[in-house]
């Protein structure tokens, strides 16, 4: 993510505010974002460097040089940014993103983490990797960025993160759809919660939009090397209609080839990356199992809850 200190985008970008609220105030009357910033003494040895900057709604495009679209897909409200410095000359940048709801915040958190970091006890869940720290809590996603991986910088990330966490009263659980992923062998850091095609195409491209108008989706990777995607459509009728469209699109897609398998009753395709994709309809949901061979793909699709 690139921080823009001056206006480098066309003036035609509208300065809209989602939900009728500026970045400092939640649309539902929640706390001002500025009130969540650590103050003097909240993180020992660290102090604010300059004034905070707030970007509501469409103004996110003036802050992020590419990549703002995915925030809006999840449901972005506003972000506040504050730099910090230590007496030893270390620097940390803090971003607090207010999202539309806790599910949006959780989803954005899963999108931002790589799955390669270590878990930290901040908010509802946190991840530290190199000199980046992300955590989510309630409707908020917090990102702290250092500029080196020294012990002093990492300590600063954690201290500032704890200070923000302590100011947040909201708590929430991960969306219920996450439980659709089979637990055995699941890599926790690999879970991605999705709310649209931008997110889905980032984790697995279907090269079509037909049949992919899901309400929410979740994807996880397993120790076996297989992956599972569960798309929720809100009703069995919507799922059946979507699968008919998606199946037809894949039949005619050059990157997917219909193939056989040990279970002739399971639709099975070979994708352009040499992976097998097995599809299973279950209630309101469509499970997609991805594996190196037909058996692996079918087996993981069958484990969707």
pLDDT at 263: 56
CATH of the domain spanning 18-167: 3.40.1000.70
Nearest 5 degrees, angle CA 129-CA 132-CA 133? 90
Q: CB of 29 within 8 A of CB of 20?
A: no
- CB neighbours of residue 15 within 10 Å: 12
- Give the pLDDT mean for 273-285: 96
Q: CB of 230 within 8 A of CB of 186?
A: no
Query: Is the per-residue pLDDT at 99 higher than 90?
Result: yes
Length in residues, the chain: 305
Shared fold status for 18-167 and 176-302: yes
Going from N- to C-terminal start, the domains of the chain cover 18-167, 176-302
Distance in angstroms (rounded) separating the CA atoms of residues 131 and 77: 26
Distances (CA, A) of 141 to 47, 76, 111, 113, 244: 21, 10, 11, 11, 36
Report pLDDT digits (tens) over 131-165: 999 999 999 999 999 999 999 999 999 999 999 99
Question: Quick one: tokens of 274?
Answer: 């040499």
pLDDT at 147: 93
Report pLDDT digits (tens) over 105-132: 999 999 999 988 899 999 999 999 999 9
Reported as half-sphere exposure (CB side, CA atoms, 13 A), residue 111 has a value of 27
Q: What percent of the chain stands above pLDDT 70?
A: 89
Alpha-helical regions (H) of the chain:
60-63, 68-74, 102-112, 151-167, 197-203, 236-251, 294-302
Pick the CATH number of 176-302 from 3.40.50.970, 3.40.50.720, 3.40.1000.70, 2.60.120.260: 3.40.1000.70
In this structure, of 12-21, 170-179, 207-216, 220-229, the range with the lowest mean pLDDT score is 12-21
pLDDT at 23: 35
In this structure, of 4-13, 64-73, 153-162, 267-276, the range with the lowest mean pLDDT score is 4-13
Query: Is the per-residue pLDDT at 17 higher than 80?
Result: no
pLDDT at 182: 85
94: nearest Cα among 132, 126, 148: 132
pLDDT at 6: 31
pLDDT at 57: 96
User: pTM of the predicted model, to two decimals?
Assistant: 0.88
pLDDT at 271: 95
């Amino acid at each position: 993510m690139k921080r823009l200190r001056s206006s480098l985008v066309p003036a035609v970008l509208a300065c809209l505010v989602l939900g009728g609220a500026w970045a400092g105030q939640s649309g539902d009357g929640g706390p001002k974002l500025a009130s969540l910033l650590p103050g003097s003494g909240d993180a020992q040895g660290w102090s604010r460097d300059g004034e905070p900057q707030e970007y509501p709604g469409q103004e996110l495009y003036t802050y992020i040089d590419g990549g703002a679209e995915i925030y809006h897909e999840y449901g972005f409200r506003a972000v506040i940014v504050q730099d910090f410095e230590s007496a030893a000359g270390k620097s940390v940048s803090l971003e607090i993103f207010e999202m539309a709801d806790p599910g949006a915040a959780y989803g954005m958190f899963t999108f931002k983490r790589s799955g390669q970091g270590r878990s930290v006890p901040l908010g509802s869940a946190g991840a530290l990797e190199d000199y980046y720290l992300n955590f989510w809590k309630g409707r908020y996603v917090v990102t702290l960025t250092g500029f080196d991986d020294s012990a002093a910088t990492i300590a600063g990330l954690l201290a500032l993160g704890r200070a923000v966490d302590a100011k947040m009263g909201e708590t929430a659980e991960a969306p219920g759809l996450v439980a659709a992923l089979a637990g055995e062998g699941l890599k926790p850091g690999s879970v991605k919660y999705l709310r649209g095609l931008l997110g889905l195409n980032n984790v697995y491209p279907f090269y079509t939009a037909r049949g992919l108008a899901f309400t929410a989706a979740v994807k996880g990777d397993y120790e076996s090397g297989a992956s599972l995607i569960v798309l929720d459509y809100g009703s069995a009728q919507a799922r059946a209609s979507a699968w008919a469209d998606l199946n037809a699109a894949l039949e005619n897609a050059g990157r997917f080839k219909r193939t056989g398998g040990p279970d002739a009753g399971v639709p099975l395709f070979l994708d352009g990356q040499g992976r097998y994709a097995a599809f299973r309809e279950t209630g309101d949901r469509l499970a997609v199992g991805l594996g190196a061979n037909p058996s692996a793909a079918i087996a993981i699709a069958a484990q969707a809850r």
